[in-house]
Structure 1
Amino acid sequence: MSRRDEATLCPRALNRALLELTIRNLLPLVQIPPRGLWRTSGQPVLATAQQWLGKPLARRPSLQALIRRYLAAFGPATSAPVRLVAPFDNLVLSHADRGRIVPEPLRRTIFSSKNGQIPGTVLLDGFVAGTWRLEQQRQRAVLQLELLRRPSRQERTALRDEGERLLLFAAPEAAHRELLF
């Protein structure tokens, strides 16, 4: 028998159901563990936020502080790190909708290259912002970055650090390593 049926037959059940919904929607509740264990499920176990935190709640919580705490926990409060992504990397190739990572102006540059070659890509704040290529000749290694937009000072420093790490990894024997923007 459903709660609705119970409520029809017994007004006390209706009052109880309404009281439960009211409490659940008006009190600051926290779902506490465990809800279930391996291979089993269970009903949620709830506690008041005050009980869970072990201290009284603020009378007038700051909405600004709440938003900052939420963003700090779940992002995107900070920008994504600068990355030099390898040629043919799945990060760029595996999306059905590549617009999530590759802006439209760069699509042709990346996916219309000669002989189906996919260049290394430069990620700034989680989006492809250019390409890179490494040229090696004898004792010399040159990393060339071609960017679609001008990087900020902080991004440029991060690009330089990332580029130097790539040069050391890819050309450890080179006597001369150079990074060009």
Structure 2
Amino acid sequence: MKLSARQLNRALLARQFLLERSEKAPLEVVEHLVGMQSQVPLSPYVGLWSRVSGFQPAALAATLEDRSAVRLVLMRGTIHLVSARDALLLRPLLKPVLDRVNFTGHNGKQIAGIDPEELAEHGRSLLEEEPRTREDLGKLLQERWPGHQATALAYAVQLLVPLAQIPPRGVWGVAQGRGDHATLHTWLGAESLPAPSITEVVSRYLRAFGPASVQDAQTWSGLTRLSEVFDRLPLRRFTDENGRTLFDHEDSPRPDEDTPAPPRFLPEFDNVALSHADRTRITSPGFNGSSTRGGFTVDGFVSGTWKVAKGTLSLSPYQRLLKRDSALVEAEGHRLLEFVAPGADHAVIFE
């Protein structure tokens, strides 16, 4: 069966709770999404506001503070917010990805000649003494390896050793917060799973991002050779408009392509726009995936970027919007301002 780009779009939006906001608890949604990008520490709050009915920031902040959720480096070597359970599941599975990031390119050159096991063990011992920022950790590591950059040494430890970036970083209402790191074992009081299931993870990826190809799952995770994992799952096959083979669970939602899709505001680097090899199911012409601004959707597709400063929401559409669409985006924009800038004088402008 062939699926159009619009059918793929509606299927993705439904699974991402972007067609209709979910009544689930925030942490349930985070687990369903297999984590949320958190390179910008507060971005998951906007992502959940767009996905969860009546979302309150304190509900997510509490999960970080009680350690049922945690922020750490995971998919593609980037920081994600995940449940504690998923941190212990995903971190060992993604070790090959993190090793590839660590030992190739610029960072690989910076740590050349250092025994990775010795570096990991020394870094772990320093962080088990007390949580430290990456800057402080780098200075201490440089005392032992004076011929190497402190930033490269600290980054290498962050990839070699499972580390949590701990509160107050990532807590709503705290201006940035110190970027202290602790070992995941110390912070959660638990070890990573000894035999984590990549089959479970791929299955969950399809629940949140499917229908999808093997290449899509590899783009999302950074892992390779996933075709054999797909073969182990009882999946239905589809094709897209370009003839690519897509896989999906039989019972996953695939709404009609004409299902209405209200405008939604996405934070910087939201996985919904970065987790497929072919992004045309969610992007519009003009989107390059590298914008440091958030994106907003029109008719289900990312159609421009946004930023908020001093109670003013500035919108930059990729193309001129119809008046009806502009009105819908503006109305949703005012609701966003009530969330991110309560009590301020609000304005929405199109740049």
With normalisation by structure 2, the TM-score equals 0.26
Query: Which has more radius of gyration?
Result: 1
Higher relative contact order (CA 8 A, sep 6+): 2
Between structures 1 and 2, the one with greater strand share:
1
